[in-house]
Amino acid sequence: MHKLPVGVLGASGYAGRELCALIEGHPSLELAFASAHGQRGQTLRVGKREVTFTGADEAPLGDAALVFSALPHGASLEWVEKARAAGAKAVDLSSDLRIGNGRSDVPYGLTELRRNQVVGADLVANPGCYPTAILLALAPLVSSGLLEEQSTISVSAASGVTGAGFTPRPDLLFAEISEDFRAYGVGNAHRHGAEMRAMLGELGGDNDLIFTPHLLPVARGILATIVVRLKAELKSPLAPWLELFSNEPFIEISATTPSLRDVVRRNTVKISAVKAENARQPTLIITSAIDNLTKGAAGQALQNANLMLGLDETAGLPA
């Protein structure tokens, strides 16, 4: 069977390597090139074969039906534009083109909320990992106007260290992370906050989103724990999600609290919601888990690419 050639820019990082592995197992795609600045000529084991990194400037962009850019924020936009100019479609995994970061004309590839804009698109901005877990958890409440007006949405989220990328930093060494846990970017100023606030605004929200990320001593996975005040008690705490996401192949609504291991290496977000006891104001506690490298990056990028290329949305994705 003929396979569509796709390329990966920035293929040596965690998201880039995950993309190469997913493409290798995809029934209708094949890897045309994989670039890695400074590692050109080195090889990456992908399944049973080896891929040799090229420089980005040597990559045959025009040979690809679609190019994934897993380049760093700031460096990505230039190469996405080159790929587009060479005739390839593009999915940008960086924040350069995301909503809330200055551009809003590019479809925001939170697939389940923006599927109509993604199908057949030439260019998609892939969401951040935290926003994927958190916006899918909040969308049913916000878009239905169930939250108390102007109430605070408190989000405490924790990510495995691959979320910080493959860059060698002393604070990410094993001996620094093991047996530790801490919040970072405290004060609501994390880059992903703007992305989430912009999207919540589009969904009709008027709430203060307070977002505190934490760094976990695990390799992969994000868990978000969210507290919201409601206008009124819900009859069934899971109803808003079951209604909005009833047929979604990659969303799992559950009465049991998600754990990282429920979602690791799957392109799935698992969401639960429980009514708070011992509270006078109707309050919901929502938990949401994803694999930051799959549904939070490479998997969702492939989900979007499938729709952009007219393929089955679930092709090549571990649900």
Q: Which residues bind a copy of itself (CB under 8 A)?
A: 14, 48, 150-152, 154, 156, 158, 160-162, 166, 168-170, 172-184, 186-189, 193-194, 197, 208-210, 212, 214, 216-221, 223, 225, 227, 229, 257-261, 264, 272, 274-281, 283, 285, 287, 319
Nearest to 153 by CA among 246, 288, 247: 288
CB nearer a copy of itself, residue 143 or residue 212: 212
- Between helix 14-24 and helix 299-308 the angle, nearest 10°, is 50
What are the angstrom distances between the C-alpha of 133 and each of 77, 288, 294? Answer: 24, 6, 11
In three-state secondary structure terms, 163 is: helix
CB 165 within 8 A of CB 221: no
Rounded to whole angstroms, the Cα distance separating 22 from 17 reads 9
> Which residue among 129, 139, 157, 177 is the active-site one?
129
Name the residue nearer to a copy of itself (CB basis): 63 or 176. Answer: 176
Q: Which is nearer to a copy of itself, 117 or 212 (CB)?
A: 212
The residue among 58, 31, 54, 59 whose CA lies nearest residue 42 is 54
Return the number of the residue (41 or 170) whose C-beta is nearest a copy of itself: 170
Known active-site residue 20: no
Closest distance between a copy of itself and the C-beta of residue 64, in Å? 27
Shortest Cβ distance from residue 60 to a copy of itself (Å)?
27
Active site residues: 129
